[in-house]
Every structure is written in C-alpha cells, then in structure tokens.
Amino acid sequence: MAFITTRLLHHLALFLFLTQLTHSALVPKTNNQPALKPQASNTYIVHANHLAKPPHFASLEHWYHSMVAAHSPRPVNTGRILYTYDTVMHGFAVQLTDDEARGMSSAPGVTGLYKDRLINLHTTRSPGFIGLDPGNAAWNETNYGDGVIIGFIDTGIWPESVSFDDSGLGPVRPSWRGECVDAHDFNSSLCNNKLVGAKAFDAAAKAMAGSTSGGGVPSPRDRIGHGTHVSSTAAGAQVPDASLYMFSRGTAWGMAPKARIAMYKACGPGGCSNADMVAAVDAAVKDGVDIISMSIGGPPQPFHDDVIAIATFGAERKGIFVALSAGNSGPMASTVSNSAPWMTTVGAATVDRLFPSNLTLGNGVVLAGKSLYTMQAKGTSMVELVSTDCSVPENFTPDKIMGKIVVCTTGAGIPHGIKAQNAGGSGLVDVDTTSWLRDGIMATAFPLPALTLSYTGGEKLRAYMASEPKPVASFSFGCETVTGKNRAPVVVSFSSRGPNFGAPELLKPDVIAPGVNILAAWSGAASLLGDSSHFDDGRRSDYNIISGTSMACPHVAGIAALIKKEYPSWTPAMIRSALMTTAGTLDNRGRDIRDNGVTVGSNNDTAATPLVAGAGHIRPRLALDPGLVYDAGERDYVDFLCAMNYSAGQIRSFVPDFITCTRTLAGGPAGLNYPSFAVVFDNRTATRTLTRTLTKVSEEAETYTVIVKAPEHVKVIVTPPTLEFKEPKEMKSYTVEFRNEAPGNRKTEWAFGHIIWQNENHHVRSPVACHW
C-alpha cells in the first residue's frame, strides 16, 4: 500500500505560549515605601449574555475584545482571549489580574465571572470513575499492586515513556525468570524495576509475509502504539500533567501503578499471527507472570479449534489469570470472542467524560458531537455539505469535495480526514450509525475540522440535507474536557455481545470496563492513528486517546493484579468471580446501565442485558472483599468440555494425558461452577436444575439469604434459601430450579434476572439469562 505524504495546510502550534509584555513605569518612592509589584494574571471565564451585545459591534468576538480593552490597561491581542464559548454557554476565557477581573464582573452584559481552577483527572478519568484514587482503600490495602507481574501479548512497548519510570520500586522478585532482550533498536538497559521483561516473536508473521530478512533478535519496540497504551493502562506509573494536547489533562495512573510489566511482542502492522501469540503466551508462563492481558481476538470459533483458547487453558492450569478483550464487532449478537470459561472476557463501556463539539446547520439546529480536533477552537464559517460513501477512495477527489464538509455515511477515522484534507476538503462529519447517543461514541483526533455524530444526530443531519438544495453547516470546537455531566457507564455499540457462539450455556462477556476515549502512553514512533506506514499526518504525542475493548481489557488485568496482591493464593476463577459478583448494574444516575448499540427493537434508553454487559461494570473496592466466590479448576473445565460432547481427542488438545470422560456435569455445560447462569429451554425440557458451590473468603462467620429476580415466564426456586458459613474457606452448595412457564413456542427469545446472596456486609450477585 502506498505511503501517503500529507500537505501541511496550517502551520499552527498546538499550544500558544504568548509572552505578554508589561509596560513598567518607575514609581517614585515616598517615605521609603517599596515599589508596588505588578499583579499576576490568572485565567478567568467570563460568562456573557449574548443577547445584551450592543448593536454597534459586528460580532460577539468584537464585543468581547472591547470588554477586555475597557477593563485592562495592557495591550489587547488575540492571544489574551484563550477561548470563546458559543453553544452550551456564551462568553470567553481570558487572562486578567484580580483587579481587572473585579472590574469586569460588573460590566454590562456579564452574567458571571469565574476564576479558573485545576480539576484532578486520572488517566482519562477511568481510575477515578471506577473508584481508584490515592486516598482509596483499594490502592492502599494492596500497596498499588506492588510486585505483581502482568504479561502483555501485544505490539511491543516504548520503554522511554515516563509511564514506565520505576521510581520508588524495589527489585523484581528473585523467582522472576524473564528478561529484556538486546535488539537493533532496543537495548536491554532500557528496562528497569517497572519494565522487567521485553521480548518479541515475529517469525510466523515474517513467514506469512514472505519476508526473507533474517538474522538478529526481533525487537520488542512498539512502533504502533497499542502495546504501550494497554500496558500503561494496566500498570503505568503516576505521571502528572499527562494529556493528548489539551484534552484529558491530569495525572495518569495505571490500575495497579506499582505492578511490574513484561511485554511479549507478537503483533505488527499486519496483525497478530496465532503462532507468534502462542509462543508469546508460552514464554510468559515460563517467565512466571501472574497475569496475562491480551487485547487480541478473532471471530468466534469452537474452543478446540482456537489455539488461543488452548494456550490460555495452559496458562490457567499454572494459576495465571488471563484477561482478554471481547471484540469490537458489536452491536450484532453472537459476536463475542475469547469466550472460553477459563478466560475473563471484557466488554467496553464509557466513563463520565465528554469532548464536546457542535455542528450548526444552516437552519439553526445545533447537533452535539465529539471531537479531539485541536487547531481551531473558535469554529468555522458556514460551508456547503456533501454526503458520500467514505469507504470508496474515488470519492475523495478535489472536484467532489474541495471547499466542502464531507459527511461520511459509512463511518470515518483519521485516514479519511487525511484524504479529505489532501483533496482540499474544508471539514468532515463522521456519522456513527451504530450508536444511539453522543454519550457512547468515540472521539477522534482528526487532522482537519471534524467531529463524530451519533445515529440520532446523523438522522437529523440527513433530514436537513434532504430538505435543502444546498445544505450548509459550521463547526464549533470547545477544545475542552467535560466530566460528570453525562450518564455513565454506557455500553458502547462496538463492544461484542453474546450469546456465546462456542457455548450458548456459558454467559459472555463476563464484565465491562472503561474502553471508550481512554488516555494512556503512546509510542514515540507512531502517528496518532497507530500504524504510521500507511497514513501519517506527522502528528506525534506522548499520550493518545483511543477506544476499543482492547482498552477495557487492561483495566481488568490491572484490577486483577490488585486482587492477586491481596490474595496471592487465589485461583484465576476466584479472581474472576470476585470481579463478576461485585460488578455494578446501575449508572452514575442510579438507572440501569444503558446499551448504546442501534439494533432491531432497541431505542435510545434500552437497558444493557447480561448478553451485552455480562455481570456488569467492574468495582475494584468491592472486588477486594467479595465475601464468597465461585471456584473452578482444570477438572471442572474438563467436565465442561465433556458436557459439550467434545471427543477425547479434542479434549486432549487441552489436557494431553486425558483418557475419557469419567464424570457427568449435572445440568450439562450450564452446570459449570460459574458466577452466572445461562439456561436454555427446549421442547423436551420444562425444568432445568443447576448446582453451584460457594467458597467463603471473608474472615468472620456469616449467614447469607438469597434474593431472586426471576426472568419473565420462568419460576426460579433456590434451595436452601439461606447459607451459613462459619469457617474460613468453607464451601456450601445450593441448587437452582428453573421452570419454564412460557406459553407456546418462544425459540428466539431471551429473558433476564439475577440471583443474589446477601447479608449486611456482602452482596454476591449472579446474572441469569434464559433462552427458548
């Protein structure tokens, strides 16, 4: 594929650091009094009533400059006014002394004046949003995950990033067998007590590409950015003042800031070879990692045909917790990948943060979108709109789009922005037709004026363009980060959903975690798009904001590291159970978590079902004290495969010394001791009975009472209704009888509920899904 060289249409700095010249005057000293020091300037937000603008000013901007000139004796220039606001509020931000601010506060037309202040943000806000901060017990009790080693199978790492600084960390444990390799562009001395391992596996990828270049140790250096991003999300060190340009500025933290990182590079620009990935997993297990994070996956397939399922089963047998991304193929059903029961499968959701931008149509309607465009905070003039299929390269020619705003009806990203810019386009509108509302859409760092609209906004735009012979619009960019104003979490539309293709009676995904517009460290060699070999507009950043279940997965891996630190003897299944049974199902408004995916029968306020959100959104503080857990191990998973009628030969793919199935799993595959229930009714079975076993992990004696919310048309009976635990690690079993009371034939329907074991200290919740 040809390398595309971009024209630099605008030589604009991303930040304007303008030196303000102050005219000093000599003040005669009288009575030995010292000369007065000039007051320091601060940023103030001036909230103005735009309707009060005097008619002799041609524009609001002219009026704003007049206000500044009237109340400040210093020269006025465009650099003094930092931003203008014209959508959610009207006004401007400006540098003023305190005296100047007091004078401006009483100026005609000024509604309010607010001194700017710093708001502490944590890594795209995701640690704070899920309840992690320096004063929080989850970090303090686990010493920030110190010493736990997370292995990443990914695109490599950029070791020079400050997110991998090892200040304050002691040596890695003596039992660690990993190492950092020396390669042509990677020196082992770049590793430290934070980055304790770095290797690369590319032989299969080279062979597939027909490469004849050989010799030398493959380099673990990340030239795409993905591996650097996910590893810093899970275990990055504290980094003050991190941001993508002016967006998400704050202190960056990983989920487990003192955990150690081992990178196993197995992916490149062309993707990830299964052979390379299996080699990487193998090496990680040999080296002695505690956690494996894999933000990788392909189409759903039977477990015995999935080498990643087989390799991760081997990791589980060694006691290693494995987190994998659910996939980005939503909102269609049955798209979830990495869905074996020994994997923890992670879907993606939003946090309570927006990057607002607006598209004002020629008829005055304002459509709210998201954008990470940085160059033009004041907005644009009205420009003609042209709608096109942006998946067709021939549509990006000067004769079709020069001087116009391109509306992409089939989605768009940075490459489309580069092509539009090269062809002389004035801007671009990306319509996400799979997402109902703005809260759940991705923001993109487009290289030209551009934003993303949701399906709802896109429909309004489509209707306007159909009604006008020459539709026009203008952009407005606040270049700001707004937190706490939107409903969150919301399950994003691209997050892959159940039911589970490989095992319909196993509910997947397991949980959801922040995976939309996540800020984390980035490769110094990569463009903002990632792979710089095809589309590169020259922009670089130490941190980047990207989205995907890839971003959600390391959140769970990092939290698993905290749990592993607190309970080093826990099995992977116990850690997964703690994450699932304490997960939340309500958003920050106290309402059901919303599914933002546009599907048949859904609307803009459809609740996310367990097929979409699994057990719910991760809550680290509660996961560190779950009370009870559902445990499982190798023998349980073999029984599960036997219940799925796998042959002895197929099961030997997972357990080489397997001979024959000797136990019957009561209830079939749904009888696995899993923290969720998926029940399938058929014409032959009106009642399904399943057994679960709980293990006590709390210290005090406790009694639990069951609470049942039965799915519609299903009667659920739990026996016994109470469980009394007295001893540590004590196990108690219970049975659940599901009776089908649905009339007629309901072959394609699902219904949902939950089973909760609770007392005054703990709330152990399992989602229930029933299918006809």
The tokens describing 454, both together, are: 């949701």
490-513: average pLDDT: 96
What domains can you pick out in the chain, each with its CATH number? 42-115 (3.30.70.80), 144-168+179-352+490-595 (3.40.50.200), 358-480 (3.50.30.30), 606-771 (2.60.40.2310)
Would you say 230 and 295 are in contact if contact means Cβ atoms under 8 Å apart?
yes
Tokens 């074991």 found at: 757
The yes-or-no verdict on residue 1 having pLDDT over 60 is no
The tokens describing 393, both together, are: 């390269």
Tell me the DSSP string of 341-376: TTSEEEEEE--SEE-EEEEEETTS-EEEEE----S-
Taking the C-alpha atoms of residue 253 and residue 239, their distance in angstroms, rounded to an integer, is: 7
Q: According to the model, what pLDDT value does residue 12 have?
A: 27
Identify the band that residue 24 occupies on the pLDDT scale cut at 50, 70 and 90: very low
Separation in Å, CA 280 to CA 151, 227, 501: 9, 14, 26
Tell me the DSSP string of 462-493: HHHHHH-SS-EEEEEE----EESSS---EE-T
Instruction: Decide if 226 is catalytic.
Output: yes
Q: According to the model, what pLDDT value does residue 145 have?
A: 94
For the stretch 658-672, pLDDT in tens is 889 988 899 999 999
For the stretch 128-172, pLDDT in tens is 667 777 766 788 889 999 999 999 999 999 999 999 999 999 999
Task: Enter the pTM of the model.
Answer: 0.82
Identify the band that residue 745 occupies on the pLDDT scale cut at 50, 70 and 90: low
Taking the C-alpha atoms of residue 195 and residue 181, their distance in angstroms, rounded to an integer, is: 12
| CA proximity to 531, closest of 124, 227, 327 | 227
Instruction: Decide if 550 is catalytic.
Output: yes
For the stretch 223-267, pLDDT in tens is 999 999 999 999 999 999 899 988 888 889 999 999 999 999 999
Taking the C-alpha atoms of residue 360 and residue 472, their distance in angstroms, rounded to an integer, is: 9
Half-sphere exposure of 287 (CA within 13 A, CB side): 28
- Choice among 128-132, 283-287, 295-299, 586-590 with the minimum mean pLDDT: 128-132
269-273: average pLDDT: 83
| CA proximity to 87, closest of 279, 334, 302, 369 | 369
The tokens describing 599, both together, are: 């599907």
> DSSP alpha helices (H): ranges in 530-593?
549-566, 572-581
The yes-or-no verdict on residue 689 having pLDDT over 90 is yes
Amino acid of residue 745: N
Q: According to the model, what pLDDT value does residue 116 have?
A: 56
Q: According to the model, what pLDDT value does residue 324 have?
A: 96
Size of the chain, expressed as the number of residues it contains: 772
Q: According to the model, what pLDDT value does residue 178 have?
A: 97
- Choice among 25-29, 435-439, 627-631 with the minimum mean pLDDT: 25-29
φ, ψ for residue 706, nearest 5 deg: -85, 140
Which of 337, 339, 550, 577 is catalytic? The answer is: 550
- Burial class (CB within 10 angstroms; exposed 0-12, middle 13-18, buried 19+) of 134: middle
In percent, the amount of the chain with pLDDT more than 90 equals 65
Tell me the DSSP string of 626-666: -SEE----HHHHHHHHHHTT--HHHHTTT-TT--------T
For the stretch 541-600, pLDDT in tens is 999 999 999 999 999 999 999 999 999 999 999 999 999 999 999 999 999 999 999 988
Half-sphere exposure of 658 (CA within 13 A, CB side): 22
Which of 226, 416, 762, 771 is catalytic? The answer is: 226
Taking the C-alpha atoms of residue 266 and residue 276, their distance in angstroms, rounded to an integer, is: 5
Instruction: Decide if 163 is catalytic.
Output: no
Q: Which residue has the higher pLDDT, 207 or 501?
A: 501
| CA proximity to 695, closest of 637, 638, 758, 632 | 632
Taking the C-alpha atoms of residue 746 and residue 646, their distance in angstroms, rounded to an integer, is: 28
Which of 41, 122, 154, 325 is catalytic? The answer is: 154
